Amino acid sequence: MSALWHLNVVASYARNSKSRERQEFVLLCVSRFLDEVYENVDKMAQFGFENDIHSILKLDMPITNAPMARWQRKASSSNTSALSGLSPGKSANVSLSSSKTPSKTPGKNKKQTPSKMGGDRFIPTRNSKQMDVATFLLTKENEPADTNTSVTSETQKAWSVSLNGYNVEDAKILHLGGKPLNAPEGYQNNLKVLYTQTATPASIKKSRYISSTPDRILDAPDLRNDFYLNLLDWSSRNFLAVALHNSVYLWDATQGDIILLMKMEREEDYICSLSWTKEGSYLAVGTSDCKVQLWDVENQKRLRSMASHTARVGSLSWNDHVVSSGSRSGHIHHHDVRVADHHIGTLTAHTQEVCGLKWSPDGRYLASGGNDNLVCIWPRAQEGSAGNDSQLIRCWSEHQGAVKALAWCPWQPNILASGGGTSDRHIRIWNVNSGSCISSLDTQSQISSLVFAPNYKELVSAHGYAHNNVVVRKYPSLSKVAELNGHDDRVLSLTLSPDCSTVATVAADETIRLWKSFEMDPVKKKAKERMVKSTSSVIHQSIR
Amino acid sequence: VKKMTSTLKGITLKGSAELVAEFFSFGINSILYQRGIYPPETFTRVTHYDMSLQLTTDPKLKNYLTNVVSQLKEWLFECTVQKLVLVITCLETNEVLERWQFDIECDKSAKESSAPREKSIKTIQDEIRSVIRQITATVTFLPLLETPCAFDLLVYTDKDLVVPDKWEESGPQTIDQSEEVRLRSFTTSIHKVNSMVAYKKTESV
């Protein structure tokens, strides 16, 4: 087939070539070449066996005993012409028309070469007789018509042949009457598939290929199977942090190394949440002993241990130099990590564990979700003032289950997606400005995490009971694009890689799976990279 | 090998007519298959001329072709046919997209009674095979037929021929702005068939 492909390339080159001669020459060569090819191919065909195999393998062979397909019925009803019973041709007195000699010489028959018939100018055959006639007619007036009879008929013949393609006097065209036969209704030949090289818009795939298997699987032994914890986060420096019981491990996604960042002193303590700063050099760790720790990853040193909560810190979110923490008590604290007196604000709308906490990308709003089924929106506190309840902008209670999954849309401002737990199972999209729920979708299983994947504008959800999978949906239509199955137990957390091509999930089956579902082709990637602005670190300057 | 065209006896007028008609039958089927006028699954493969060819299994089409070819055979025998043309038109617009023309030159001096001509069947079949191969080869440069198509068979006969039942007169159905490619010809020594294909010039990319 490769030879044919090359040939097709040559042929298409010929087709597109402006030089007519080159075109003709190439076409002739191709045609001759193919003669040779087919000669050899046919000799090897064991067609009988092939025919059988062919008919077996062809899944769309017509079924022998089935009722007629619709197109067949239509075709049979349209071909009403009775084609049977043609009367045998009566022997007619046929006048011997001038036999056409095989014309190798350029003569009357100009069709030796692919002619310019139908070109821009019509040039009749300029044989001498016509020129004579022309001159004669021009110079003489009022000539009796019959003197030119013999000459005229020749010219007439010539004109006729050129115009009609045949001599009208000598021949007539017949065709078998009745409706013209055509292919069954709706049939469109698909030769395009075999022979075309140009990619038509229709041939470009509408949706990309999403692998159904994870790109990588990492072992996560000792992972706490607790719905309310947030134990996975991926930094902008491409480090994946995971908390296994009371230890925090970092996996270098570029190199593949594993680093044990920290381990809590007491065995009964455990890590409840992790959150990287925006530039990825510091990691906030929420613990069961009600503290928020701050770690310098480069030096593997703990910088701070901030105590303010009365219960475990199950959720964390950064907003520049402020880290907000949500606790089992239902309280949310803001910590300014630059100052000694870190606790700068308290938000107390939730009555049960705050399991979802996310600052919007522009840093204006904080979304929180709790075990009390509430989704609350808080504004950014003014510098210096203490945060209080009256600042609560929105409080949505539509969810019927714990709201742990929260995600802000990176490309559309003020859009928040939230997902409910086992008793709710709905994804809801909110507009923070208007306060309305834009859309809602029942996903049939517990939603533990949501993330927006900007590369293809999709929303990814991680599910627990009962599907234990990850679903990729187009945003904003929320139509399913792909399902990533593989985890044997409920998926607890989901996080997106810094280049937005991969999503990492951790599940109760003690594995971390990396799904490379959002890879962009290099061209688009370059365009995107040019648009990304580098943000400078605020903390780095002021941390003590 | 048919009795009437046996190599011992040479080619008779009747035999020649048979050979040419047979060629047309296979040729038309090939074109319909190659150009995708009919779904490929409605064709079955057979061996003839020492090569594999596609024949339609569609009963209506088969019937139609049989009728045309048998009439052609008669006209070939009487040397009254000048051309056979297969026209491919766009179903919706009735525009002629492709035109396969087979010019037939008949040696009128070969009457039924005259002695058979010296030409081996094998040679004729080889020639026919080349032509059909060329027809297959044309797919590489013929523009794709992207719309559903209809086809029609036109026969150019002598002017004073009595038109049989079911046959009607028709126009030439030529293509304006066409590109033509001449294919090989073959001859039985009584009938000579020149083949060519004309197609609508596509816009240069």
Query: How high is the mean pLDDT of chain A?
Result: 76
Which residues on A lie below 8 Å from B164 (Cβ)?
Answer: 86-89
Tell me the chain B residues in contact with residue A16 when contact means C-beta distances shorter than 8 Å: 204-205
The answer to whether residue A42 scores a pLDDT higher than 70 is no
The 8 Å CB, 24+ separation contacts for A49-57 are A50/B45, A51/B44, A51/B45, A54/B45
Confidence bin at A406 (pLDDT 50/70/90): very high
Inter-chain CB proximity A102 and B168 less than 8 Å: no
C-beta atoms surrounding B170 within 10 Å: 18
**Distance from C-alpha of A474 to C-alpha of A472, rounded to nearest angstrom:** 7
pLDDT at B173: 84
Token output for A91: 């022997």
Smallest CA–CA distance from B198 into chain A, residue: A114
- CA dihedral over B70, B76, B81, B84, signed as positive or negative: positive
Confidence of residue A78 (pLDDT cuts 50, 70, 90): low
Which chain B positions have a beta carbon within 8 Å of A34's beta carbon?
133-134, 136-137, 140
Q: What's the average model confidence in pLDDT over B8-21?
A: 82
The reported pLDDT for the residue numbered A506 is 94
Residues 6+ apart with CB under 8 A from A278: A236, A318, A320, A535, A537
Q: For residue A12, what is the nearest residue in chain B, using CA coordinates?
A: B141
- B69 to chain A nearest CA, in Å? 11
Q: What is the pLDDT of residue A18?
A: 62
Interface of B with A in 115-134 (CB under 8 A): 130, 133-134
Say if CB A281 and CB A295 are below 8 A apart. Answer: no
Q: What is the pLDDT of residue A58?
A: 52
Taking the Cβ of residue B3 and every Cβ of chain A, the question of whether any pair is shorter than 8 Å is answered with no
Query: Is pLDDT of B156 > 50?
Result: yes
Is B189 in CB contact (< 8 Å) with chain A? Answer: no
Q: What count of other Cβ atoms lies within 10 Å of the Cβ of residue A269?
A: 16
Choose among B157, B19, B180, B195: nearest CA to B98: B180
Tell me which chain A residue has its CA closest to the CA of residue B186: A102
Question: Quick one: pLDDT band at residue A96, thresholds 50, 70, 90?
Answer: very low
pLDDT tens, position by position, B167-181: 888 888 888 778 888
Residue A505 near residue A516 (C-beta atoms within 8 A):
no
Please report the pLDDT score of residue A43 as a whole number: 53
Q: Which residues of chain A lie closer than 8 angstroms to B133, CB-CB?
A: 34-35, 38-39
Q: In what order do the strands lie in the sheet with A511-515?
A: A216-219, A511-515, A503-507, A491-496
CA torsion B131-B137-B139-B143 (nearest 10°) is -80
To the nearest whole Å, the CA of A22 is away from the closest chain B CA by 14
Asked if B82 is an interface residue toward chain A (Cβ–Cβ < 8 A), one would say yes
Smallest Cβ–Cβ distance between B152 and the set A62, A79, A175 belongs to A175
What 8-state DSSP symbol labels residue A16? Answer: H
Was domain B13-161+168-200 assigned CATH 3.30.900.10?
A: yes
**ipTM of the complex, rounded to two decimals:** 0.72
Average pLDDT over residues A214-243: 92
In this prediction, residues B45-63 reach a mean pLDDT of: 89
Q: State the pLDDT confidence band at A86, using cuts at 50, 70 and 90.
A: very low
Digit-coded pLDDT (tens) for A154-205: 777 677 666 655 555 667 788 776 555 555 555 655 555 444 444 444 434 4
Q: Which residue of A has its CA nearest to B159?
A: A171
Question: Would you say the C-alpha torsion B17, B20, B23, B25 has a positive or negative sign?
Answer: negative
Kindly determine whether residue B169 and residue A191, on different chains, have CB atoms separated by under 8 Å. Answer: no
Paired residues of A345 in beta bridges: A334, A387
Nearest-Cα residue of chain B relative to residue A90: B162
Q: Is A178 left (phi over 0), alpha (psi -120 to 50) or beta?
A: left
Query: Nearest-CA residue of chain B relative to A96?
Result: B108
pLDDT per position as a tens digit, A497-516: 999 999 999 999 999 999 99
A10 pLDDT exceeds 80? no
Indicate the domain borders of chain B: 13-161+168-200
Compute the mean pLDDT over every residue in chain B, rounded to the nearest whole number: 84
A500 to chain B, closest Cα gap in Å: 38
Judging contacts by C-beta atoms under 8 Å, the chain B residues touching residue A200 are none
Identify the residue whose tokens are 């008609």.
B21
pLDDT digits (tens, 9 = 90+) for B77-129: 888 888 899 999 888 888 888 999 999 988 877 765 677 778 888 888 899 99
- pLDDT exceeds 80 at position B189: yes
| Residues of chain B positioned with their CB less than 8 A from the CB of A182 | 37, 91, 148-151
Query: Average pLDDT in the B16-36 region?
Result: 90
Search chain B and give the residue with CA nearest A180: B152
At A466 the pLDDT is 80
**What is the reported pLDDT for A283?**
94
Whole-number percent of chain A with pLDDT over 70: 59
The CA distances from residue B12 to A88, B2, B109, B200, in Å, are: 21, 12, 12, 39
The pLDDT of residue B25 is above 50: yes
CB contact under 8 A, A176 and B41: no
> Which chain B residues are within 8 Å of A170, Cβ to Cβ?
82, 158-159
Residue B45 and residue A189: Cβ atoms within 8 Å? Answer: no
Instruction: Give the confidence band of A72 by pLDDT, cuts at 50, 70, 90.
Output: low
Q: Is A50 helix (H, G, I), strand (E, B) or coil?
A: helix
Question: Which helix or strand (DSSP H or E) is residue A76 part of?
Answer: helix A70-78
> What is the pLDDT at residue A405?
94
Pick from A68-82, A207-221, B60-74: least confident: A68-82
Q: In chain B, what residues touch A20 (CB-CB under 8 Å)?
A: none
Q: For residue range A439-467, list pLDDT tens digits in order.
A: 999 999 999 999 999 988 999 999 998 88
Neighbours of A186 (CB within 10 A): 9
* Option in B39, B50, B169 nearest A183 (CB): B39
The DSSP secondary-structure symbol of A371 reads T
Among A29-43, A190-204, A398-412, B173-187, name the most confident range. A398-412
CA B91, CA B16: separation in Å to the nearest integer? Answer: 35
Query: Binning pLDDT at 50, 70 and 90, where does residue A127 land?
Result: low
Residue A250: predicted pLDDT: 93
Residues from chain B that touch A183, judged by Cβ atoms under 8 A, are 37-39, 148-150
A183 and B103 in contact by Cβ < 8 A? no
Choose between A203 and A303: higher pLDDT.
A303
For residue B179, the chain A residues in CB contact (below 8 A) are 114
pLDDT band at A309 (very low <50, low <70, confident <90, very high): very high
CA torsion through residues A368, A360, A247, A222, sign: positive
Residue with tokens 């979304």: A367
Q: Taking residues A90-114, report their average pLDDT.
A: 41
From chain A, the residues in CB contact with B131 under 8 A are none
Distance from CA of A191 to the nearest CA of B (A): 7
* Cross-strand pairs, A426: A442
- Residue A326: per-residue pLDDT: 93
- The DSSP secondary structure of B16-35, one letter per residue, reads HHHHHHHHHHHHHHHHHHHT
Give per-residue pLDDT as tens, A240-291: 999 999 899 999 999 989 999 999 988 889 999 999 999 999 999 999 999 9
Of A79, A171, A188, the CB nearest to B148: A188
CB contacts of A40 in chain B (<8 Å) are none
Indicate if the pLDDT at residue A471 is higher than 70.
Answer: yes
What long-range pairs does A40-44 form, CB within 8 A, spacing at least 24? A42/B50, A42/B51, A42/B52
Between chains, do B164 and A87 touch, taking CB under 8 Å as contact?
yes
* Inter-chain residue contact B45 with A90, CB threshold 8 Å: no
pLDDT of residue A56: 53
pLDDT at residue number A17: 60
**Structure confidence at residue A228 (pLDDT):** 93
CB contact under 8 A, A187 and B51: no
CA nearest B83 in A: which residue?
Answer: A173
Q: Which residues of A touch B45 (CB under 8 A)?
A: 47, 50-51, 54
Within 8 A of B70 by CB-CB distance, chain A residues are: 86
Q: Give the residue from A43, A174, A179 with the most B CB atoms within 10 Å of its CB, the best one to mutate.
A: A174
Q: Which of A34, A113, A180 sits opposite B152 (nearest CB)?
A: A180
Nearest chain A residue to B89 by CA distance is A182
pTM beyond cutoff 0.95:
no
Q: Give A177's contacts in chain B (Cβ within 8 Å).
A: 166-168
Q: What distances in angstroms separate CA A325 from CA A107, A128, A197, A368, A408, one per listed residue?
A: 96, 103, 58, 10, 17
Question: How many CB atoms are closer than 10 A to CB B165?
Answer: 10
Instruction: For chain A, say whether B88 makes contact (Cβ under 8 Å).
Output: no
Would the CB atoms of B162 and A89 count as touching at under 8 Å?
Answer: yes
Q: What residues of chain A lie within 8 A of the CB of B192, using their CB?
A: 102
Strand A171-176 versus strand B149-158 pairing type: antiparallel
CA distance A18 to chain B (A): 8
The confidence band for A11, taking pLDDT boundaries of 50, 70 and 90, is: low
- Check B196 against A164: CB less than 8 A apart: no
Which candidate in B44, B92, B125, B133 is best for mutational testing of the A interface (most A CBs within 10 A)? B133
Question: Chain-centre distance of CA A203, in angstroms?
Answer: 13
* Backbone dihedral angles phi then psi of residue A358, each to the nearest 5 degrees: -150, 130
Asked if residues B117 and B107 have their Cβ atoms less than 8 Å apart, the reply is no
Task: Report the Cα A77 to chain-centroid distance in Å.
Answer: 43
Average of per-residue pLDDT across A406-418: 93
Shortest CA distance from A174: residue in chain B: B169
